[in-house]
């Protein structure tokens, strides 16, 4: 018995590693920075690395297991190679390779997904094995769904959803949640029609209904549209092919006592009800009962005129302009923010609360066009859809009467739903995992290729030795070291047991380790420093520590720009730091740095109102400096320059309330109350939220008179 366990240990490890991966959407560690993302990513990476090394050992030990390539592996390798080239040709390869904590993608994740695909397609080759895999995934999706259901019922012992009323569960993002659950619905359908046991069928059907309920309560329009569209196609398939009227026996043979005619009638009723409900909903979209219901309101408001749709369209246009500039190779993986800033549409600032910093195009086509150019897009679409050709070819060759093309049909719907949903959002690890499960299964029906050298024992031994040599360095540099630094940052920010001196020391320590998250961590450093400097008293010891921290923060923010001189957000961060230091010390040199940055920033994002806001405040601070030193002429000169910056922001798009508000504040601080009131009134006239602010602002000015 022991010998059998030892002999099967590599297989057990591979299955356990797969289980860790499939249940990763449940993982959540609040002691990590971006816990909904990083917790899952670290677990996935480590499990894949263990799985791959074990697979290499199994290939060397057992001749039944050989390294082979099928169409999916080849297409993924091509996509990975093209993405690598585009990233090398891009402006910031470091980010392309490592990504950041918030996304945790980059070439590092693509490499792990490639290895994941390689093991899946080589180790799991039996249909029954894949049913077990889908069962594991389905169970994990059930647990994720139950957690979200608890949020729906607002159970006091569960954290509320991070997306408000929209269910996000342990995934933390309602859009990702919808995409993940769609896979659960379709994998559950595969299991429903391939497990004969009635109780299993009842289990699958019950969970599928739950997951459809969860999808609708994510209020994610892209996910709901994808589900409804492929769901209707799914029903039509059963009505007109799987359960034909003239062959009710086919339904009975498949589903026991269930009658095909009853199911067909039920399907017609469902389709008719959906069409009627949709028509009725859009006809009554302005009714109070629709406006007061979040789900109905979001569905009824599906329109290119909605705020969300408008921001998406503007982001897509920025992506398209970026694609036209670099059509073949794109800008490099994870570098969408560069063309987005360069071709920024000022209208995005029109609505209060609009997201104006995008690092994704929120569209699977434009994201690939920007990151990898036309070659990247074509290679990725080939990876999604070409394996389906071999799946269909396999089933079309079958001649038996029981072949209803269910498997190729259902997996075509899976890939189609994934594609449709991601026309409105972007991908994440929690959706990549089931996607690569689907692609791996589909590609089992394609030819396998194995060069003769793959069977050579010395070659296999060499691969194993290389794998062993690289395993621990990769495990440490990709996972363990960044994981520890990530935890240290959260400790700095949230550990109430640490005094400020200990926090400063830990900040210095974690940044010195130079992990891929440093660009994000320096932002937290600036927030930490500014909060500390604003709250501490004039104690000599405290001032000395703050002076040292200011110098450290200054040096780190210089590195921020040196590492990535293509990020507008980086320049604005440093400019805010310079303004803050000037406000505390009166050192004009810090303001001069901002003026030196301005021309560079304008080249990167000439249409962003933010850069003119920042320069406006820099000129205003300089004007105040001259006023306080009795240099009235220079005060007037720089105050005029400050006002001009806000007027430039207004000129970019004069229907946005924020620039008028900022200008009103500056004018009031400069003593021009009459014009300040005019600007406040204009700001208030453009949006109800600003109207409330404007009323209070104007009353305050008039009371001062």
Query: What is the distance between the alpha carbons of residues 162 and 168, in angstroms, rounded to a whole number?
Result: 7
Question: Confidence class of residue 252 from pLDDT cuts 50, 70 and 90?
Answer: very low
- The pLDDT value recorded for residue 298 is 60
C-alpha span between 421 and 177 (Å, rounded): 12
Q: Using CA atoms, how far apart are residues 111 and 240, in angstroms rounded to an integer? A: 43
Identify the pLDDT of residue 261. Answer: 61
* pLDDT tens-digit series, residues 563-611: 999 999 999 999 999 999 999 888 999 999 999 999 899 999 999 999 9
How far apart CA 233 and CA 683 sit, in angstroms, is 49
Q: Crossing angle for the helix pair 609-628 and 657-669, nearest 10 degrees?
A: 0
pLDDT tens, position by position, 125-145: 999 999 999 999 999 999 999
Quick check: 248 pLDDT over 90? no
Count the neighbouring beta carbons within 10 Å of the beta carbon of residue 444. 21
Determine the Cα–Cα distance for residues 460 and 416; give it in Å rounded to an integer: 38
Q: Which of 576, 579, 570 is nearest to 600 (CA)?
A: 570
Q: Which pair of structure tokens corresponds to residue 643?
A: 């006002």
Mean pLDDT over each residue of the chain, to the nearest integer: 89
Is 90 exceeded by the pLDDT of residue 430? yes
Q: Do 141 and 192 form a contact (C-beta atoms < 8 A)?
A: no
Contact between 410 and 189 under an 8 Å Cβ cutoff? The reply is: yes
Q: How confident is the model at residue 246 (pLDDT cuts 50, 70, 90)?
A: very low
pLDDT category at 258 given cuts 50, 70, 90 is very low
pLDDT class for 306, splitting at 50, 70, 90? low
Q: What letter would DSSP give residue 293?
A: S
pLDDT digits (tens, 9 = 90+) for 153-189: 988 888 887 777 889 999 999 999 999 999 999 999 9
Instruction: Please determine, for residue 624, whether its predicted confidence score (pLDDT) is greater than 80.
Output: yes
For tokens 């949640």, the residue is 177
pLDDT for residue 259 is more than 60: no
- Residue 700 pLDDT level (bands cut at 50, 70, 90): confident
CA distance 163 to 171: 10
The CA distances from residue 222 to 22, 165, 259, 414, in Å, are 24, 17, 34, 15
Q: Quick one: pLDDT at residue 329?
A: 96
Q: Residue by residue, what is the 3-state secondary structure of 595-613?
A: HHHHHHHHHHCCCCHHHHH
291 has a pLDDT exceeding 70 = no
**What's the number of CA atoms in the CB half-sphere (13 Å) around residue 515?**
26
Distance from C-alpha of 342 to C-alpha of 603, rounded to nearest angstrom: 8
What is the DSSP pairing of strand 448-449 with strand 69-70?
Answer: antiparallel
Of 52-66, 430-444, 492-506, 533-547, the poorest mean pLDDT is in 533-547
Instruction: Return the pLDDT at 351.
Output: 63
Question: How many Cβ atoms from other residues are within 10 Å of residue 331's Cβ?
Answer: 30
DSSP reduced 3-state for 207:
helix
How many residues are there in the chain? 705
Burial of 671 (0-12, 13-18, 19+ CB in 10 A): exposed
How confident is the model over 311-338, as pLDDT tens digits? Answer: 888 999 999 999 999 999 999 999 999 9
């Amino acid at each position: 018995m022991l010998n059998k366990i030892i002999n099967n240990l590599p297989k057990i490890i591979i299955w356990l590693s797969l289980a860790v991966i499939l249940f990763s959407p449940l993982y959540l560690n609040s002691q990590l920075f971006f816990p909904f993302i990083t917790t899952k990513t670290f677990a996935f990476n480590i499990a894949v690395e263990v799985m791959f090394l074990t697979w290499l050992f199994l290939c060397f030990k057992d001749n039944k297991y050989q390294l082979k390539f099928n169409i999916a592996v080849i297409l993924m390798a091509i996509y990975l190679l093209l993405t690598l080239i585009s990233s090398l040709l891009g402006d910031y390869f470091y980010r392309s390779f490592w990504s950041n904590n918030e996304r945790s993608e980059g070439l590092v994740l693509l490499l792990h997904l490639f290895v994941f695909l390689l093991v899946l397609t080589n180790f799991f080759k039996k249909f029954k094995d894949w049913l077990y895999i889908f069962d594991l995934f389905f169970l994990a999706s059930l647990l994720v769904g139950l957690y979200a259901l608890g949020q729906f019922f607002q159970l006091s012992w569960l954290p509320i959803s991070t997306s408000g009323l929209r269910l996000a569960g342990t995934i933390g993002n309602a859009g990702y949640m919808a995409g993940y659950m769609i896979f659960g619905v379709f994998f559950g359908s595969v299991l429903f029609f391939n497990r004969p046991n009635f109780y299993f069928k009842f289990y699958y059907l019950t969970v599928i209904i739950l997951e459809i309920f969860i999808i609708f309560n994510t209020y994610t329009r892209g996910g709901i549209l994808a589900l409804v569209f492929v769901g209707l196609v799914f029903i039509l398939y059963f009505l007109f092919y799987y359960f034909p009227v003239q062959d009710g026996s086919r339904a009975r043979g498949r589903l026991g006592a269930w009658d095909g005619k009853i199911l067909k009638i039920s399907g017609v009723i469902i389709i008719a009800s959906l069409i009627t409900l949709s028509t009725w909903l859009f006809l009554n979209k302005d009714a109070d009962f629709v406006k007061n219901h979040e789900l109905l309101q979001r569905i009824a408001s599906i329109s290119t005129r909605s705020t969300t749709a408008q921001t998406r369209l503007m982001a897509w246009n920025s992506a398209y302009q970026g694609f036209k500039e670099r059509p073949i190779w794109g800008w490099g993986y994870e570098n969408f923010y560069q063309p987005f800033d360069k071709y920024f549409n000022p209208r995005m600032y029109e609505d209060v609360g609009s997201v104006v910093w995008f690092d994704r195009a929120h569209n699977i086509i434009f994201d690939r066009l920007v990151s990898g150019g036309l070659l990247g897009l074509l290679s990725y679409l080939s990876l999604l859809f070409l394996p389906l050709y071999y799946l269909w070819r396999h089933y079309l060759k079958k001649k038996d009467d029981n072949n209803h093309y269910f498997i190729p049909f259902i997996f075509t719907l899976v890939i189609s739903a994934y594609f449709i949903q991601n026309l409105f959002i972007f991908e994440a690890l929690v959706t990549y995992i089931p996607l690569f499960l689907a692609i791996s299964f589909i590609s089992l029906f394609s030819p396998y290729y194995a060069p003769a050298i793959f069977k050579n024992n010395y070659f296999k031994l060499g691969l194993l030795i290389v794998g062993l040599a690289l395993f621990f360095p990769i495990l440490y540099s990709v996972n363990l070291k960044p994981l520890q630094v990530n935890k240290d940052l959260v400790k700095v920010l949230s550990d109430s047991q640490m005094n400020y001196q200990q926090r400063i020391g830990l900040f210095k320590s974690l940044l010195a380790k130079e992990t891929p998250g440093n660009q994000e961590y320096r932002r937290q450093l600036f927030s930490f420093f500014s909060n500390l400097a604003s709250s501490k008293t004039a104690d000599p010891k405290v001032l000395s520590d703050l002076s040292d921290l200011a110098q450290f923060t200054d040096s780190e923010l210089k590195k921020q720009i040196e590492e990535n001189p293509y990020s507008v957000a980086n320049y604005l961060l440093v400019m805010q730091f310079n303004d803050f230091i000037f406000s505390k010390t009166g050192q004009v040199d810090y303001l001069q740095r901002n003026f030196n940055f301005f021309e560079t920033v304008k080249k990167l994002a000439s249409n962003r109102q933010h850069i003119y806001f920042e320069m406006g405040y820099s000129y205003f601070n300089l004007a105040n400096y001259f006023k306080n030193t009795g240099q009235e002429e220079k005060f007037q000169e720089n105050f005029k320059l400050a006002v001009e910056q806000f007027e430039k922001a207004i000129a970019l798009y004069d229907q946005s309330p924020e620039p008028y508000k900022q200008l009103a504040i500056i004018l009031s601080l400069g003593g021009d109350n009459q014009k300040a009131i005019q600007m406040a009134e204009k700001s208030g006239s453009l949006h109800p939220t600003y109207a409330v602010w404007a009323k209070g602002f104007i009353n305050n000015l008039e009371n001062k008179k």
